[in-house]
Copies of this chain bind each other. A is one copy, B any other.
């Protein structure tokens, strides 16, 4: 199940961490890095994340795996540029935080003999770049794999094995189910974090903050261009999740306005009960973040 030679397109936190972890696990032989930033690729080479950096695959021996680890709305274009040098049988996968758009676009871009298997490791942090890559990043983290009816099962099995091999807990579901779920558990808390830091108009007040502010706003350091992409690529589900959240906010606000201690306590008790249920369903992954 080993890939002899993989091209990682976008050697950032996620692509870089996957290369590090897959190499350590013996799941990938040679790693070719492709990216926009020469400085970042040099960091990746110096850290042993990639063996060499190239502009495209024209002068490179055939790869049997392509990992697209670029912002979601650049995924199809990145693949289109690479396609002339990707031979039949090569498995293509990605790591994007939104799957519906990407899976549909890849079905257009790729011929059937170069199967695409969408994947989304739910790990990461507000840090970025090859310098932040971490061989342990995916240990215990969820990874959603999103085949369609047209995806060859053998290709799905190889991508699953790759993620399981780097320690992830693989879930398989449709692109649409992924996107609805992630809108709640990832995209919404990012929107909330951005809105929170924007709401605080005096930055000096942060001197009075403690853990709740720090944790609720941590991901507001995430890269704007990356998150603009994610939110727009998953707009419908993000809007629905935001509206569901806003309705709950309105309900809590109304109980505060009414000064209704029993109504407010009931809302908060239901919330703590929901949180307990969610903790039982959630992984024990420590330090796992996203996108």
In chain A between 256 and 291, which residues have their CB closer than 8 angstroms to a CB of chain B? 256-257, 259, 261, 264-265, 267-272, 274-283, 285, 287-290
| Residue in B193, B223, B278 whose beta carbon sits within 8 Å of that of A206 in the complex | B278
Per DSSP, are chain A's interface residues mostly helix, strand or loop, or mixed? helix
Chain B residues with Cβ below 8 Å from A279 are 206, 221
Q: Mark A239-269, 1 if CB is under 8 A from B, else 0.
A: 1011111111101110011010100110111
CA distance A188 to B216 in the complex (A): 10
Are A199 and B244 interface neighbours, CB within 8 A?
yes
A67 contacts the other chain (Cβ, under 8 Å)? Answer: no
Chain B residues with Cβ below 8 Å from A224 are 265, 268-269, 271-272
Size band of the A side of the interface? Answer: 35 or more
Chain B residues with Cβ below 8 Å from A256 are 231-232, 235, 238-239, 242
Are B271 and A203 interface neighbours, CB within 8 A?
no
The chain B residue with its CB closest to the CB of A143 is B208
State whether A185 and B198 are in contact (beta carbons under 8 Å apart), knowing that A215-B218, A220-B275, A256-B232 are contacts in the complex: no
CA distance A279 to B224 in the complex (A): 17
Are A209 and B274 interface neighbours, CB within 8 A?
no
Chain B residues with Cβ below 8 Å from A268 are 194, 224, 227-228
Q: Which of A20-28, A75-83, A121-129 contacts B (4 or more CB under 8 A)?
A: A121-129
- The number of times this chain is found in the oligomer is 2
A54 contacts the other chain (Cβ, under 8 Å)? Answer: no
- In the assembled complex, the CB of A125 is this many whole angstroms from the nearest CB of chain B, namely 7
Are B248 and A122 interface neighbours, CB within 8 A?
no
A141 contacts the other chain (Cβ, under 8 Å)? Answer: yes
Besides A194-B267, A212-B218, A228-B264, 10 other A-B contacts (C-beta < 8 A):
A185-B212, A186-B208, A191-B252, A194-B248, A201-B244, A206-B282, A207-B281, A223-B272, A235-B256, A239-B253
| 6 closest cross-chain pairs (CB), A and B | A211-B289, A224-B268, A206-B278, A203-B277, A189-B216, A215-B215
**What are 14 A-B pairs with beta-carbon distances under 8 A?**
A171-B207, A186-B209, A189-B196, A189-B213, A189-B215, A192-B249, A196-B248, A198-B271, A203-B277, A211-B288, A211-B290, A235-B257, A239-B253, A242-B256
